[in-house]
């Protein structure tokens, strides 16, 4: 999947598992950028009686790099708190929930949002509130952090909102009637100009998991696989599953280094690096004496995500947990995995004679380095660039000077739509097909015009067309979650 359960450790910690990150110029508010980070992969809608919620012991972060150094200048931090009105019932709700203040809603979550603004300094890791204060300087060139572990570093964090209600999970017609209206009330406008939402949504990511992880069964070449099968349509594995989304819409002027709203596509100021991460405290003590658990120590990052499929497909199994714990500025350590991706070796092996040109391609894949680690420079794709310089860092790179597309193409830039992936990532972009085609060689001519991609590289597809219910036209753009009563339906 994009990043659902993509690494050994985080696959066992769903509330901290960042499944997807989206970042795009808001189509209905083009002076803003919307960033969405999803967690809790593959939620079954009928997941009662303890319906899904965010982790109260997890720090959720959205990072923005606006000067191309692979380090965050801006961090938005989200913390959650669960409130139980009546602990003497097993019920999530004791009657229909008709509003966010409804007394029938027994177990609810609220959240806070903070913003940390940091300059290009060394990390000042000060956690006095935890009885732990030290200046931690790692001034070794690119190794220095600014505020990489976020919350608890204190001085520069500004609380933007607190006690903000999440919507309930979508349970069914008796418990959560008029769900769309209920969730709409959980869209909060902050005094500083941001709009936020956090709660359950329909997972917009679409992929045929059963096929891809059955030794890269790709359409329309199933009969040409080393272990051939008959042609069959794609299966949208996540079609009836939910996630928990954190969405924030931010004025562009609050994100750029100089507070401008860039209009020049070629300007370096127009490109933002964006990624998400989740962190846990270093120590957790489970103790029956205090009827729960205690925590101590600094925040330690356990999950991160920029480009979809990077950790999933590029990073090998033995390094995935390490990758999750690091900041993008260290991603030069994974350069060889990008230059010589495993999947590019697998495709010719699994599909004999289907990818002969890819099989013969032994040079480092600088096209993939550009897509994943530096952004595409000016002059490669007419009218487009999202380059952030020489620092190798896995981030979504969004050129905010490119306006939203009037007729979006789910294949993004490779489909001629400059407002789509890898220019940031929109909710409906078919990143799986884009990534497979790129690895298969269709983007290599960007750096070597003499290379002729295999015909199969531009023909490979997931064979899935997601339903219109996966997205919505307005914030938070991720759509109403499937209800537990209705999904999966008896006919599925």
Q: Which residues here bind another protein, judged by CB under 8 A?
A: 131-132, 134, 226-227, 283, 285, 294, 296-297, 345-346, 348-350, 352-353, 359
Minimal distance in Å, beta carbon 264 to another protein?
45
Half-sphere exposure of residue 236, counting CA atoms within 13 Å on the CB side? Answer: 15
Question: How far is the first Cα of the chain from the last one, in angstroms, to the nearest whole number?
Answer: 21
How many Cβ atoms from other residues are within 10 Å of residue 325's Cβ?
Answer: 18
Minimal distance in Å, beta carbon 454 to another protein?
13
How many Cβ atoms from other residues are within 10 Å of residue 270's Cβ?
Answer: 22
Minimal distance in Å, beta carbon 231 to another protein?
19
Minimal distance in Å, beta carbon 453 to another protein?
18
CB closer to another protein out of 70 and 348: 348
CB closer to another protein out of 224 and 268: 224
CB closer to another protein out of 355 and 421: 355
- SS3 annotation, 207-244: CCHHHHCCCCCCECCHHHCCCCCCCCCCCCCCCCCEEE
CB closer to another protein out of 217 and 236: 217
Alpha helices in 93-178 (DSSP H): none
* CB distance 195 to 142 below 8 Å: no
Backbone angle region of 96, left / alpha / beta, with phi > 0 → left and psi within -120 to 50 → alpha: beta
Minimal distance in Å, beta carbon 243 to another protein?
30
H helix or E strand, kind and range, residue 54: none
Minimal distance in Å, beta carbon 420 to another protein?
33
Half-sphere exposure of residue 369, counting CA atoms within 13 Å on the CB side? Answer: 17
Name the 3-class secondary structure at 434: helix
Minimal distance in Å, beta carbon 297 to another protein?
7
Q: Is the link from the previous residue into 299 a cis peptide, with omega within 30 of 0?
A: no
Half-sphere exposure of residue 104, counting CA atoms within 13 Å on the CB side? Answer: 12
The whole-angstrom separation of Cα 224 and Cα 287 is 56
Backbone dihedral angles phi then psi of residue 298, each to the nearest 5 degrees: -70, 165
The whole-angstrom separation of Cα 479 and Cα 201 is 6
Q: Is the link from the previous residue into 488 a cis peptide, with omega within 30 of 0?
A: yes
CB closer to another protein out of 159 and 296: 296
Token pair for 203: 């997972």
The vertex-377 CA angle with 374 and 381, nearest 5°, equals: 125
Minimal distance in Å, beta carbon 227 to another protein?
5
Token pair for 429: 């972009």
Token pair for 386: 């999202």
Minimal distance in Å, beta carbon 172 to another protein?
38
The whole-angstrom separation of Cα 450 and Cα 359 is 16
For the four alpha carbons of 12, 59, 79 and 4, in that order, the dihedral sign comes to negative
CB closer to another protein out of 257 and 343: 343
CB closer to another protein out of 49 and 356: 356
CB closer to another protein out of 185 and 300: 300
CB closer to another protein out of 6 and 359: 359
CB closer to another protein out of 85 and 296: 296
Minimal distance in Å, beta carbon 321 to another protein?
13
* CB distance 328 to 273 below 8 Å: yes
Name the 3-class secondary structure at 368: helix
Minimal distance in Å, beta carbon 472 to another protein?
42
CB closer to another protein out of 158 and 345: 345
Minimal distance in Å, beta carbon 391 to another protein?
25
Sheet strand arrangement including 195-202: 20-25, 32-43, 242-251, 195-202, 188-189
CB closer to another protein out of 25 and 358: 358
């Amino acid at each position: 999947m994009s990043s659902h359960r993509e690494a050994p450790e985080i696959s066992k910690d769903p509330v901290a598992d960042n499944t997807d990150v989206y970042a795009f110029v808001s189509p209905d508010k083009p002076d803003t950028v919307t960033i969405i980070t999803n967690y809790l992969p593959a939620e079954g809608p009928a997941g009662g009686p303890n319906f899904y919620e965010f982790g109260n012991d997890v720090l959720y972060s959205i990072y923005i790099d606006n000067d191309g150094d692979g380090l965050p200048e801006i961090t938005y931090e989200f913390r959650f708190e669960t409130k139980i009105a009546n602990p003497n019932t097993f019920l999530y709700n004791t009657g229909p929930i008709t509003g966010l203040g409804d007394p029938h809603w027994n177990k609810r979550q609220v959240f806070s949002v903070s913003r940390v603004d940091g300059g290009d300094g060394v990390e000042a890791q000060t956690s006095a509130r935890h009885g732990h204060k030290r200046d931690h300087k790692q001034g070794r060139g690119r190794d220095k952090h600014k505020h990489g572990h976020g919350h608890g570093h204190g001085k520069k964090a500004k609380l933007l909102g607190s006690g903000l209600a999440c919507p309930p999970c979508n349970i069914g017609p008796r418990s959560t009637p008029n769900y769309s209206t209920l969730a709409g009330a959980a869209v909060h406008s902050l005094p500083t100009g941001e709009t936020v939402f956090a709660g359950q949504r329909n997972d917009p990511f679409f992929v045929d998991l059963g096929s891809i992880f059955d030794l890269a069964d790709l359409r329309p070449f199933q009969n040409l696989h080393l272990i051939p099968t008959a042609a069959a349509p794609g299966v949208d594995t996540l079609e009836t599953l939910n996630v928990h989304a954190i969405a924030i819409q931010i004025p562009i002027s609050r994100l750029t280094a100089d507070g401008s709203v860039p209009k020049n596509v070629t300007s370096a100021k127009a490109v933002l690096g964006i990624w998400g991460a989740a962190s846990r405290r270093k120590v957790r003590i489970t103790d029956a004496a205090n009827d729960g658990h205690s925590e101590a120590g600094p925040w330690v990052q356990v999950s991160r995500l920029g480009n979809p499929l990077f950790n999933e497909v590029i990073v090998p199994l033995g390094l995935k947990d390490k990758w999750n714990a690091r900041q993008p500025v260290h991603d030069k350590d994974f350069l060889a995995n990008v230059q010589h991706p495993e999947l590019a070796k697998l495709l010719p092996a699994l599909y004999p004679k289907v990818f002969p040109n890819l099989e013969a391609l032994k040079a480092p894949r600088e096209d993939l380095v550009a897509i994943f680690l530096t952004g595409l420079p000016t002059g490669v794709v007419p009218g487009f660039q999202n380059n952030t310089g020489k620092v190798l860092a896995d981030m979504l790179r969004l050129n905010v000077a490119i306006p939203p597309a009037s007729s979006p193409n789910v294949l993004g830039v490779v489909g001629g739509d400059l407002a789509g992936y890898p220019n940031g990532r929109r909710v409906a972009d078919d990143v799986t097909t884009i990534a497979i085609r790129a690895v298969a060689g269709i983007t290599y001519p960007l750096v070597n015009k003499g290379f002729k991609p295999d015909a199969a590289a531009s023909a490979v597809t997931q064979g899935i067309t997601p339903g219109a219910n996966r997205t919505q036209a307005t914030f938070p753009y991720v759509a109403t979650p499937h209800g537990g009563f209705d999904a999966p339906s008896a006919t599925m």
